[in-house]
A and B are shown apart, each in its own frame.
Chain A
Amino acid sequence: MVELLGGIAAPDDVTLERLRADLAARAERAGVLDVAYCTHDSPLGALLLAATPEGLVRVAFAREDHDGVLESLARAISPRVLWAPRRLDGVVRQLDEYFAGTRRAFDVPVDLRLASGFRRAVLTHLRTIPFGHTESYAGVARAAGSPRAVRAVGTACATNPVPLVVPCHRVVRSDGSIGQYRGGTEAKRALLALEAS
């Protein structure tokens, strides 16, 4: 019987790609696209970008397992996750401009729901550190209202769900050494060099 029904052709990849894009657009209009994502090539490698209707919720570096990141977003936010580049157009454009050296600040809505309490306070403060400047972990702890919580600042930076746009790379050690980074210390060094030029 396989031969009887074998005449029903499977769709080709181009058709499926187009249908996935249509589905994302329809889901967006219907208000059921809880998490939109895309991947985008950058000088630091392929970035995974994800946004809720409120704003950019996750930026993941190539060294993070992107499928694993999507699974954690499905658990933490909603399983209604779709490949939907359109919602991330603005973020993509501004990241390109940033890496090209023509943009110094990001002007996109950010959704910090994946960070809570003190971590969120730290991230909120980080957004005020301007391009080309750095602060120490101790300095950020003071600014976030808990001068003794230096280690917790380190954790907040290491678990920053939206690196680059929330510039945790601008936080360095008091002795001037570079400190850890979710995208790797090489990436952090490259970003600080980009902003110093």
Chain B
Amino acid sequence: MAVRPFDHVVREHGAVVMRVCRALLPPAEAEDAWSETFLAALRAYPQLRPGSNVRGWLVTIAHRKALDQLRARARRAVPTGEVPDVAVTDGELVADDALRAAVTALPDKQRAAVLLHHVAGLPYADVARELGGSVDAARRSAADGIARLRTTYAPSTGGDDG
């Protein structure tokens, strides 16, 4: 049984979980996914096995919750021409829109590896434990994901962040 107060978990990992949510969702929806993630984690927390990697566990939940949000949005979506999806004024966040689409479009395992290693900063040994394969396979998934992002995501090279 986990004995660390859940509040300490939120304080330590709250920011990282938000970055994971923001990698897939625009800011307001990312907040919903963040809340869903920590509420689900709070429910399950007393049963978490001692020695578990809490950050990896949370990132995996966040990944799933963010995909749930995207699916729910797709179901809600009306087939009109213009969807005013991005209603954010913050320059640096608006700039992430194309990146989010590219990350979302990755194959599941590559997306998980990229989120765990490149966004959440977990070492490949921990990524492998989350993905359930070898360390080499985890490293390969992350590398493949990044290679694909390079081709699918073209960052705007201009300074249009104003």
Contacts and interface: CB of A to CB of B under 8 A. Distances in A.
Given A1-B118, A4-B150, A82 B96 contact: no
Contact of B15 (A1, A5, A11, A71): A11
B119 A70 contact: no
Contacts of A7: 92, 95-96, 99, 155
B119 A82 contact: no
A22 B2 CA distance: 23
B99 A74 contact: no
Contact of B23 (A5, A30, A74): A5
A26 B99 CA distance: 31
Interface string B1-12: 111111110100
Interface in A1-57: 1-2, 4-5, 7-11, 15-16, 19-20, 22-23, 26-27, 30, 32, 35, 37
A83 interface: yes
Main secondary structure of the interface of B (DSSP, over half): helix
Nearest to A12: B15
B96 to A, nearest CB: 5
Contacts of B149: 1, 4
A79 B43 CA distance: 10
19 contacts: A1-B118, A4-B99, A4-B153, A7-B92, A8-B23, A9-B19, A9-B92, A10-B15, A10-B18, A11-B18, A15-B31, A19-B35, A20-B10, A27-B39, A37-B7, A70-B5, A80-B6, A80-B45, A82-B6
Interface of B: 1-8, 10, 14-15, 18-19, 22-23, 31, 34-35, 38-39, 42-43, 45-46, 90, 92-93, 95-96, 99, 114, 118-119, 146, 149-150, 153, 155
For the complex of A and B, the 4 pairs showing the least CB-CB separation, nearest first, are: A81-B5, A70-B5, A74-B5, A11-B18
